[in-house]
Amino acid sequence: MYELTEEETSIVSLVSEWVDREVKPVVRDLEHGNTYPGSLIGQMKDMGIYGLVIPEPWNDASVSTPCFAAVTEELARGWMSLAGAMGGHSVVAQLLLAFGTDEQKDRYLPRMATGEVRATMALTEPGGGSDLQAMRTTARAEGPGGDYVVDGSKTWISNARHASLVALLCRTDPEAEPAHRGISILLVEKGPGFEVGRDLPKLGYKGVESCEISFDGMRVPRSALLGGVEGKGFAQMMRGLEIGRIQVASRALGVGQAALDDAVRYSQERESFGKQIWEHQSVGNLLAEMVTQQTAGRQLVQHAARRYDSGERADMEAGMAKLFTSEAAMKIALDAVRIHGGHGYSTEFDVERYFRDAPLMIVGEGTNEIQRGVIARQLVKRNRVGGA
């Protein structure tokens, strides 16, 4: 199923066993209570999950992106919120690895690998949505070599209360044309002028906070500029979002797999008209479609992960994986509810949670409408006709 080394296969199996042993028995109560899973997060740190994408010399062990995707899927199979708790953290790690200065890497990566420092990214603004170039958050430099003074606000920031490092996308040159040339990433640590606002109420994705954050005259040192050069932030973040979208696609796979597993089990336990319900063609057809979509989605994710590791541009592949798996997870979750019948609408069964969690992957990390545009642009760019 996965093209992994023997060691990587063992890591995925370890996480899978942990999910079945530690997560499955407690997830329903934690999710329904919207309770932060502190104990489970601590165990994830101990297992090295927060350092999976961080290589030597900053971490003792790292894995390939296909393995990272497989681990993410297993976490989401147990509870999508656990995969969300390390999603942005892994994107920030990749940003540091690809673009950070030596000082930035040495400062953050060793502590990020252990989970001592947890990171998140701040992109979306209250009025901007997916239009990142329309952002209004600014970082004004106080003279040559002076601090940046940051003002503005962001929203839908996962792990905002528990993260101590924020990769902030902001304008360092509001007059730049085109706009993306004036955008940079600052590595911001919490301090005066940084405020975490309210937790946003959500349909699903419970337990892990998504907050509004604001900056009011916050002073950030010049050394916090990712890579040390202004105006590179938009391109840097687009590369970071490739791994982010692979991660979100893997979350969708986990939700889809959990829904499929429950549907297959219930269809054998429940009988009607003298048969196990999977034997009825209408139910059997649903199961066939579910497993086909799940298997196809996994291949797309693994393809995108291998492309990412090759060093080639992978936004088209990551976009396709995210688009397909998120839409598939939504359908698989709904079909699992159909198969469970009235029980599928009950909070005493987990399929209702999958149905509430699945939409996040459709709108998160760039909506699927945005993904379609990314895919189409890259498709044409890679297949120019007549030298256009």
Q: Is pLDDT at 386 greater than 90 in this prediction? A: no
361 and 242 in a single domain? The answer is yes
84 and 166 in a single domain? The answer is no
Q: Which long-range contacts (CB under 8 A, 24 or more apart) does 93-96 make?
A: 93/53, 93/54, 93/119, 94/53, 94/239, 94/240, 94/243, 95/121, 95/167, 95/185, 95/226, 95/236, 95/237, 95/239, 95/240, 96/187, 96/226
The size of the chain, in residues, is: 388
Q: Give the pair of three-digit tokens for residue 62.
A: 């790292």
Residue 387 belongs to a domain = no
Give the end of a domain, one of 59, 81, 114. Answer: 114
Amino acid at 378: Q
Predicted pLDDT at 338: 98
131 and 213 in a single domain? The answer is yes
219 and 259 in a single domain? The answer is no
- % pLDDT > 70, the chain: 98
| 164 torsion bin: left (phi>0), alpha (psi -120 to 50), beta (else) | alpha
Q: Specify the DSSP element, H or E, that contains 180.
A: none
Residue 328 belongs to a domain = yes
| 145 torsion bin: left (phi>0), alpha (psi -120 to 50), beta (else) | left
Predicted pLDDT at 180: 87
109 and 11 in a single domain? The answer is yes
Classified as helix, coil or strand, 374 is: helix
Residue 97 belongs to a domain = yes
Q: Give the pair of three-digit tokens for residue 221.
A: 């040192």
Predicted pLDDT at 3: 83
Nearest residue to 156 via CA among 88, 103, 105 = 88
Q: pTM of the prediction?
A: 0.95
242 and 368 in a single domain? The answer is yes
Classified as helix, coil or strand, 186 is: strand
Confidence of residue 143 (pLDDT cuts 50, 70, 90): confident
Q: How many CA atoms lie within 13 A of 388 on its CB side?
A: 7
Give the end of a domain, one of 98, 114, 130. Answer: 114
Task: List the CATH number of the domain containing 211.
Answer: 2.40.110.10
- Cβ neighbors of 144 (< 8 A, separation 6 or more) are none
Dist CA 272 CA 144 (whole Å): 76
State the average pLDDT over residues 16-44. Answer: 98
Q: How high does pLDDT run on average in the chain? A: 95
Total number of domains in the chain: 3
175 and 250 in a single domain? The answer is no
239 and 222 in a single domain? The answer is no
Q: Specify the DSSP element, H or E, that contains 77.
A: helix 65-78
Residue 127 belongs to a domain = yes
Residue 269 belongs to a domain = yes
Confidence of residue 295 (pLDDT cuts 50, 70, 90): very high
Residue 388 belongs to a domain = no
- Cβ neighbors of 204 (< 8 A, separation 6 or more) are 80, 353, 356, 357, 358, 359, 360
Dist CA 332 CA 255 (whole Å): 9
The C-alpha angle with vertex 274 and arms to 271 and 276, in degrees rounded to 5, equals: 35
Number of neighbouring beta carbons within 10 Å of residue 183: 26
- % pLDDT > 90, the chain: 91
Q: CA of 85: how far to CAs of 81, 278, 382, in Å? A: 6, 36, 35
b/e map 106-134, b = 16+ CB within 10 Å: ebbbbbbbebebbbbbbbbbeebeeebee
State the average pLDDT over residues 204-232. Answer: 97
157 and 267 in a single domain? The answer is no
Q: Is pLDDT at 387 greater than 90 in this prediction? A: no
Lowest-pLDDT choice from 129-133, 355-359, 374-378, 384-388: 129-133
- Cβ neighbors of 355 (< 8 A, separation 6 or more) are 259, 333, 334, 336, 337
Q: Give the pair of three-digit tokens for residue 288.
A: 């066939």
Confidence of residue 372 (pLDDT cuts 50, 70, 90): very high
Predicted pLDDT at 169: 97
Predicted pLDDT at 129: 66
Give the end of a domain, one of 230, 256, 288. Answer: 230
Residue 192 belongs to a domain = yes
Find out whether 277 and 271 touch, Cβ atoms under 8 Å: yes
Task: List the CATH number of the domain containing 271.
Answer: 1.20.140.10
Span 45-85, pLDDT tens digits: 999 999 999 999 999 888 999 999 999 999 999 999 999 99
Find out whether 377 and 313 touch, Cβ atoms under 8 Å: no
Dist CA 325 CA 301 (whole Å): 8
Q: Is pLDDT at 156 greater than 80 in this prediction? A: yes
Nearest residue to 46 via CA among 80, 15, 7, 76 = 15
Q: Is pLDDT at 1 greater than 70 in this prediction? A: no
239 and 226 in a single domain? The answer is no
Predicted pLDDT at 69: 98
Task: List the CATH number of the domain containing 27.
Answer: 1.10.540.10
Nearest residue to 366 via CA among 307, 302, 318 = 318
H-state helical runs in 270-367 = 281-309, 315-340, 351-363
Find where tokens 């979100």 sit: 248
**Residue 70 belongs to domain spanning:** 6-114
End-to-end CA distance of the chain: 40
Catalytic residues: 365
Q: CA of 333: how far to CAs of 76, 129, 182, in Å? A: 13, 26, 42
242 and 376 in a single domain? The answer is yes
Residue 386 belongs to a domain = no
State the average pLDDT over residues 33-52. Answer: 97
254 and 376 in a single domain? The answer is yes
